[in-house]
Amino acid sequence: MTTAAATALIERDFAVPDIRCAGCIAKLEQGLVRDSRIASARVNFTEKRVHLSCAADAKMPDLIGAFSLLGFEAHPIGDGPADVDAQAATSRELVRAVAVSGFAMMNIMLLSVSVWSGAAGATRDLFHWLSALIAIPTVAYAGRPFFRSAWRALSHRQTNMDVPIAIGVLLTTALSLYETATSGPHAYFDSVVMLLFFLLCGRWLDSVMRDRARGGVTALLRNMGTGAMVLDDRGATRWVDATELQPGMVMLVAAGERLAADGLIVGGASQIDLSLLTGESAPVAADIDDRVHAGTLNLDAPIRVKVTAAGTDTAIADIARLMGEAAQGKSRYVRIADRAARLYAPAVHLLALLSFIGWMAVGAGWHHSLLIAVAVLIITCPCALGLAVPAAQIVAAGALMRVGVLIKDGSALERLAEVDRALIDKTGTLTLGRPDAIDLDRVDEMQRPLLLALAQASRHPLSEALTRELAARGVMPDAVDNIRETPGFGVEAIWRGHQVSLGRPQVPLFGSTLATELAIDGVPAATIHFADRLRPDAGAAIDALRKAGIEPTILSGDRAEAVAPIARELGMTAQTGMSPQDKLSAIARQSAAGHKVLMIGDGLNDGPALAAGHASIAPGSASDAGKNAADCIFLGDRMMPVVQAIDMARRTQAIVRQNFILAIGYNVFAVPLAILGHVTPLVAAVAMSGSSLIVVGNALRLKAAIR
């Protein structure tokens, strides 16, 4: 504590996905400060983050070590990109605008109720002036998001939903002010502010949804903020952040570690798992002078890699370029509310104009005619469009989050509802993307505790798979002595006086099958084979997709021999050996044929395809590029959440359509009243809040839709 207090403190954020209960909060907050370098720790449960104040000289591996000592896996979160801050600032601004307009609405309503219940003469004028005093600053402050967006649309010669809102708000405020100044009976300040309040609520819900999903995604970005142990000239090692790696540095990459940069192997030989990069499921042997890529997994033995390219100029820059191009197509998608507004706005303006002209024609005078036109504008203002769509979508996104699907924004839900073709990657998407022991049942019951004892001493991916599965079967480890890990070979120990080892099979296996061998006194006792298995409910999920009218196809970068058995088991057609460019053109072909394509994939090589698909989903284990490009992310081993997400998206779309019909029905009823001049501020207030409550209530029905 004293050392930490003496030096300057720095703040760091970590994503800790495994925070699940109050116990975890207590354990982390009280456990972490026992480390002398950490001054304070604060858990944010909602975002699954931990905020540390630590000594400036605390190294990243030490801090991560402090987490793992407590049994948690922590991932450092770098200083977020600038656009993240901008988004958070937008949400904060919206919250403030909602609060201000809510406050103003309540106070003006208080004054309005007195006017409606019969205040007259000087009292009414006083109340109208007070309302104006509250309403005008509120409109100026809380209306800014709408005015800004309407202005942007108009200056591009387009209309969006905000154009009728901005015109309606400004016109109504101006007319109400005139009414107040001339002691008129009706001022619509309450309607204006109420309108702003409801619409801002809708906007705010939309941004809350994006924020929440973004929090979830950041917590999942594992590879971000990683780095490597770098060997300097004097032979000492130090931890270097991925962003600070320079070409020419030599990284030490342990078995089971992901490479942080592209490079050439200068020491050691190993097997490299390329599945995130190419979709290839079988590991590739790599020797001195072989080129290795960032994001691939070193499986076997420690290697030294001389960095040739780091950060943004790695070999995946090519994939990044493809992704940029592919994403442009998606930005052309127009949200359903804006599509509706394109029809709605001109109709509303025309109607208001016609009622103005109509009343002028029958000789009502311009003042009375303008009042009626404003009443029409207020009644038709698209509350249902502004509030109903985000309300339905946030309820749907919340329900999906509980089954383990993160939806990045509302437009993703809309697009997901429209898909009718699914292109699915194999490695890591249909399969789990990690080695699983396939013949553990053939291992002698007596040898299992020994296997676990040896496996849990190593961080090799195969050992970790073994540990996971044996522990899941309730096996308890045996006691072993003199345990020792030899890189590139395996683990050795003394067990009941025998020399035992777990490691690479003595007789090389055919092909590139992954296997490990248990030997007792040098005699092979058991061989365990590993394979990347199908997700447990992949078959059911594929069937459910077909039932939902979505035809699935496999789109894999792997070899045909590796894809065929899976395609046969699931009864799917498959295209194999595809490069990222091939996947893109496959999507383009389907789109050209008029299909809306859902891309499901995880790898770096799927990145462009995920960006190009009409909608896209990635598993939580996907590469960062994949998770960033996808619209939705599903967590866990099961694949069924994909189907649930599509189902939920379709239900949401149905609710949104119902809400539109409700809104139109309400207009059919209320607009004639407004045109005939029967809409007083009281009627407008009742109609507006009534219709908003109905559409929100309808949206809440989605909460029960997911089982």
Partner 1 sequence: MNGLIFLIPVALGLGLLGLAAFFWSVRKGQFDDLDGAALRIFVEEEEEKES
Query: Cα separation of 82 and 492, whole Å?
Result: 50
Query: Cα separation of 164 and 425, whole Å?
Result: 45
Ramachandran region of residue 336, left (φ > 0), alpha (ψ -120 to 50) or beta?
alpha
CB of residue 392 vs partner 1: minimum separation in angstroms?
Answer: 22
CB of residue 2 vs partner 1: minimum separation in angstroms?
Answer: 10
Query: Cα separation of 564 and 426, whole Å?
Result: 11
Instruction: Verify binding: residue 140, partner 1, rule CB under 8 A.
Output: no
Candidates 10, 26, 479, 693; binder of partner 1 (CB under 8 A) is 26
Query: Cα separation of 205 and 394, whole Å?
Result: 7
In the complex with partner 1, the residue whose CB is nearer, 39 or 617, is: 39
CB of residue 96 vs partner 1: minimum separation in angstroms?
Answer: 7
CA distances for 610 relative to 325, 406, 630, 653, 688, angstroms: 12, 15, 5, 22, 41
Candidates 60, 70, 113, 130; binder of partner 1 (CB under 8 A) is 130
- Which span (123-131, 558-566, 587-595, 604-612) binds partner 1, by CB under 8 A? 123-131
Catalytic residue (one of 35, 125, 409, 425): 425
Instruction: Verify binding: residue 266, partner 1, rule CB under 8 A.
Output: no
CB of residue 152 vs partner 1: minimum separation in angstroms?
Answer: 27
Parallel, antiparallel, or unpaired: how do β-strands 597-600 and 421-424 relate? parallel
Instruction: Verify binding: residue 100, partner 1, rule CB under 8 A.
Output: yes
Residue for token digits 């100026």? 140
3-state secondary structure 498-515: EEEEEECCCCCCCCCCEE
**35 classed as catalytic:** no
Instruction: Verify binding: residue 109, partner 1, rule CB under 8 A.
Output: no
In the complex with partner 1, the residue whose CB is nearer, 39 or 550, is: 39
Instruction: Verify binding: residue 8, partner 1, rule CB under 8 A.
Output: no
3-state secondary structure 468-483: HHHHHCCCCCCCCEEE
Instruction: Verify binding: residue 95, partner 1, rule CB under 8 A.
Output: yes
Instruction: Verify binding: residue 350, partner 1, rule CB under 8 A.
Output: no
For 537, what's the count of Cα atoms within 13 Å in the CB-facing half-sphere?
Answer: 13
- Which span (102-110, 444-452, 453-461, 698-706) binds partner 1, by CB under 8 A? 102-110
Instruction: Verify binding: residue 125, partner 1, rule CB under 8 A.
Output: no
Of 51, 80, 667, 675, whose CA–CA distance to 369 is shortest?
675
Dihedral, 94, 100, 105, 111 alpha carbons, nearest 10: -170
In the complex with partner 1, the residue whose CB is nearer, 95 or 588, is: 95
In the complex with partner 1, the residue whose CB is nearer, 89 or 354, is: 89
Question: Which string of x and - marks every residue 643-682 that binds partner 1 (by CB under 8 A)?
Answer: ----------------------------------------
CB of residue 395 vs partner 1: minimum separation in angstroms?
Answer: 17
Radius of gyration of the chain (CA): 31
Candidates 3, 36, 68, 123; binder of partner 1 (CB under 8 A) is 123
Question: Which string of x and - marks every residue 33-72 that binds partner 1 (by CB under 8 A)?
Answer: ------xx--xxxxx-------------------------
Of 98, 123, 591, whose CA–CA distance to 387 is shortest?
98
What separation, in Å, do the N-terminal and C-terminal C-alpha atoms of the chain show?
50
In the complex with partner 1, the residue whose CB is nearer, 123 or 512, is: 123
Candidates 10, 110, 334, 664; binder of partner 1 (CB under 8 A) is 110
In the complex with partner 1, the residue whose CB is nearer, 53 or 658, is: 53
Candidates 7, 80, 90, 99; binder of partner 1 (CB under 8 A) is 99
Instruction: Verify binding: residue 89, partner 1, rule CB under 8 A.
Output: no
CB of residue 667 vs partner 1: minimum separation in angstroms?
Answer: 33
- The DSSP secondary-structure symbol of 80 reads P
In the complex with partner 1, the residue whose CB is nearer, 134 or 699, is: 134
Instruction: Verify binding: residue 5, partner 1, rule CB under 8 A.
Output: yes
Handedness of CA 555, 560, 564, 566 (dihedral sign): negative
SS3 9: strand
SS3 8: coil
In the complex with partner 1, the residue whose CB is nearer, 10 or 354, is: 10
Instruction: Verify binding: residue 412, partner 1, rule CB under 8 A.
Output: no
E-state strands within 87-236: 227-231
CB of residue 19 vs partner 1: minimum separation in angstroms?
Answer: 9
Candidates 6, 8, 22, 507; binder of partner 1 (CB under 8 A) is 22
**Concatenated DSSP letters of 624-686:** HHHHHH-SEEE-SS-SHHHHHHHHHHHHHHHHHHHHHHHHHHHHHHHHHHHHTT---HHHHHH
- The DSSP secondary-structure symbol of 210 reads H
CB of residue 174 vs partner 1: minimum separation in angstroms?
Answer: 24
Instruction: Verify binding: residue 103, partner 1, rule CB under 8 A.
Output: yes
Query: Cα separation of 62 and 688, whole Å?
Result: 58
Instruction: Verify binding: residue 107, partner 1, rule CB under 8 A.
Output: yes
Helix axes 336-361, 366-380, angle to 10 degrees: 160
Query: Cα separation of 544 and 524, whole Å?
Result: 45
CB of residue 225 vs partner 1: minimum separation in angstroms?
Answer: 21
The two tokens of residue 692 are 């908003």
Handedness of CA 98, 99, 102, 103 (dihedral sign): negative
Instruction: Verify binding: residue 6, partner 1, rule CB under 8 A.
Output: no
Instruction: Verify binding: residue 21, partner 1, rule CB under 8 A.
Output: yes
- Which span (91-99, 256-264, 427-435, 474-482) binds partner 1, by CB under 8 A? 91-99
- How many beta carbons lie within 10 A of that of residue 339, not counting itself? 14
In the complex with partner 1, the residue whose CB is nearer, 123 or 506, is: 123
Please give the single-letter amino acid code of residue 586: A
In the complex with partner 1, the residue whose CB is nearer, 16 or 272, is: 16
H-assigned helices in 221-288 = 275-278
CB of residue 44 vs partner 1: minimum separation in angstroms?
Answer: 5
CB of residue 123 vs partner 1: minimum separation in angstroms?
Answer: 7
In the complex with partner 1, the residue whose CB is nearer, 97 or 453, is: 97
Binding residues for partner 1, total number by CB under 8 A: 30
Binding-site ranges for partner 1 (CB under 8 A): 1, 5, 21-23, 25-26, 29-30, 39-40, 43-47, 92, 95-96, 99-100, 103, 106-107, 110-111, 123, 126, 130, 134
Active site residues: 425
